[in-house]
Amino acid sequence: MSQKARKKKPKVKKISFKDKDWYQVFGPKSFDNKFIGEIIGLENTIVGRTLETSLYDFTENFRDINLKLKFRIASVNNEAKTCQTIFYGHAFSNDYVRSLIGRGTSKIQTIINLTTKDNYAFRVTTVCTTIKRARSSQQILIRKIMREILKEFAKSLNHEKFVRGMIYGEFQHQIRRIAKTIYPLSSSTVIKSKLISIPEGGEDREVPDDEFEIVEVEVKRSRKSEMRRTERINVKKLARKSAPTPPVSSSEEVPKKEE
Same domain for 103 and 177, yes or no, is yes
Predicted confidence at residue 119, as pLDDT, reads: 92
Q: Give domain status of residue 138, yes or no.
A: yes
Cβ atoms of 83 and 76 within 8 Å: the answer is yes
Residue 240 lies in a domain: no
Q: Does residue 36 belong to any structural domain of this protein? A: yes
Q: Convert 179-240 into a string of H (helix), E (strand) and C (coil).
A: HCCCCCEEEEEEEEEEEEECCCCCCCCCCCCCCCCCCCCCCCCCCCCCCCHHHHHCHHHHHC
Residues with Cβ within 8 Å of residue 64, at least 6 apart in sequence: 54, 55, 56, 58
Mean pLDDT of 32-56: 89
Phi, psi at 77, each rounded to 5° = -105, 105
Reply yes or no on whether the pLDDT at 209 is more than 70. no
CB 126 within 8 A of CB 161: no
> Do 51 and 166 sit in the same domain of this protein?
no
Q: 98 and 188: one domain?
A: yes
> Of 88, 114, 133, which residue is a domain's last?
88
Inside any domain, residue 4 = no
**67 and 105 together in one domain:** no
Whether residues 78 and 181 share a domain: the answer is no
| Of the residues 88, 110, 134, the one at which a domain ends | 88
Cα four-point dihedral sign 153, 154, 159, 163? positive
| The pLDDT of residue 61 is above 60 | yes
Residues 131 and 217 in one domain: yes
pLDDT at 205 over 50: yes
Q: Are residues 41 and 115 in the same domain?
A: no
The mean pLDDT value for 233-243 works out to: 44
**How many structural domains are present in the chain?**
2
Direct distance between the N- and C-terminal alpha carbons of the chain, in angstroms, rounded to an integer: 124
Q: Which domain holds residue 29?
A: 20-88
In angstroms, the CA 173 to CA 215 distance is 11
Question: How many residues are there in the chain?
Answer: 259
Residue 220: per-residue pLDDT: 64
Tell me: do 137 and 202 sit in the same domain: yes
Q: Are residues 48 and 139 in the same domain?
A: no
Cα 170 to chain center, whole Å? 11
Both 217 and 153 in one domain: the answer is: yes
Structural domain includes residue 75 = yes
Q: Residue 107's domain is classified under what CATH number? A: 3.30.479.30
Q: What is the pTM of this model?
A: 0.76
pLDDT score for 143: 94
Residues 38, 117, single domain; the answer is no
Question: Which residue, of 56, 73, 88, is where some domain finishes?
Answer: 88
Q: Is residue 246 part of a domain?
A: no
Is 45 a member of any domain? yes
Least-confidence region, from 48-57, 105-114, 200-209 = 200-209
Q: What is the mean pLDDT of the chain?
A: 81
Task: Assess whether 43 and 119 both reside in one domain.
Answer: no
Q: Please tell me the predicted confidence (pLDDT) of residue 238.
A: 45
Is residue 124 included in any domain, yes or no?
Answer: yes
